[in-house]
């Protein structure tokens, strides 16, 4: 008795081609599902962990997009506001429209302009400006230094995207593993 094993190379090639198409579609779907997670992870790095939140403009500017190249699909999360790049790369901020900057002290959650326009809105009877600081005066004559006034400030680089990406690694691994399993399942079932 002879044993003969034959394969239909064309059928195998067709099945593999179909699997590749399914894999690409499944991968794209998984990556699209990761977009809100990437935005959330980036926001979490900004909210209270790395920066003092004042206006929320940086966090509100975070968006993501699906990027497709000949090599595959990726999710790109980014902060769509100009100074985000400065925060990531570091640099020096120099006063341009005024003689000095107004840098808030820790815990100050309002702008110098808003404070000076209406100190009472922030619990002070009055405010005044010195060459090196902006000070708030209480009714009992105690005071708080609210802002320092340097001519420039060095911003230390902090790539907030790196910890966000690391936090997402387990979720990405799970979603992409599920996508591959879903796409290749028909091959194991004898289907196309």
Closest to 127 (Cα-Cα) out of 110, 107, 144, 140: 144
In a domain, 2, yes or no: no
Q: 32-47 pLDDT, tens per residue? A: 999 999 999 988 887 7
Residues 172, 117: Cα–Cα separation, whole Å: 48
pLDDT at residue 173, as a whole number: 94
* Residue range 154-174: mean pLDDT, rounded: 88
Question: Does 113 score more than 90 pLDDT?
Answer: yes
Residues 134, 3: Cα–Cα separation, whole Å: 92
Is the CB of residue 126 less than 8 Å from the CB of residue 135? no
Question: Does 70 score more than 70 pLDDT?
Answer: yes
Same domain, 20 and 77: yes
User: Reduced to 3 states, what is the DSSP secondary structure of residue 18?
Assistant: helix
Same domain, 134 and 79: no
Same domain, 76 and 114: no
How many CA atoms, within 13 angstroms, populate the side-chain half-sphere of residue 88?
A: 17
Residues 117, 174: Cα–Cα separation, whole Å: 52
Same domain, 96 and 57: no
Lowest-confidence segment of 2-16, 32-46, 66-80, 133-147 by average pLDDT: 2-16
Same domain, 77 and 137: no
Q: How far is CA 185 from the centre of its chain?
A: 34
Q: 120-137 pLDDT, tens per residue? A: 999 999 999 999 999 999
Give the number of domains in the chain.
2
For residue 31, with 0-12 CB atoms within 10 Å meaning exposed, 13-18 middle and 19 or more buried, which class applies? buried
Domain span at residue 146? 91-153
In a domain, 56, yes or no: yes
């Amino acid at each position: 008795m002879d044993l003969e094993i034959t394969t239909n190379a064309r059928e195998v090639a067709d099945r593999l081609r179909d699997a590749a198409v399914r894999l690409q579609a499944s991968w794209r779907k998984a990556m699209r599902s990761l977009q809100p997670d990437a935005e959330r992870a980036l926001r979490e790095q900004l909210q209270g962990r790395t920066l003092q939140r004042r206006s929320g403009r940086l966090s509100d500017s975070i968006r993501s997009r699906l990027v497709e190249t000949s090599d595959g699909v990726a999710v790109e999360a980014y902060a769509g506001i100009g100074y985000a790049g400065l925060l990531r790369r570091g640099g020096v901020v120099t006063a341009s429209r005024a003689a000095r900057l107004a840098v808030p002290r820790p815990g100050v959650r309002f702008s110098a302009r808003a404070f000076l326009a209406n100190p009472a809105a922030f619990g002070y009877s009055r405010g005044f400006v010195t060459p090196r600081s902006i000070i708030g005066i209480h009714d009992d004559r105690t005071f708080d230094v609210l802002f320092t006034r340097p001519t420039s400030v060095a911003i230390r680089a902090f790539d907030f995207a790196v910890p966000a990406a690391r936090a997402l690694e387990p979720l990405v691994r799970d979603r992409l593993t599920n996508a591959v399993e879903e796409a290749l399942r028909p091959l194991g079932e004898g289907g196309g």
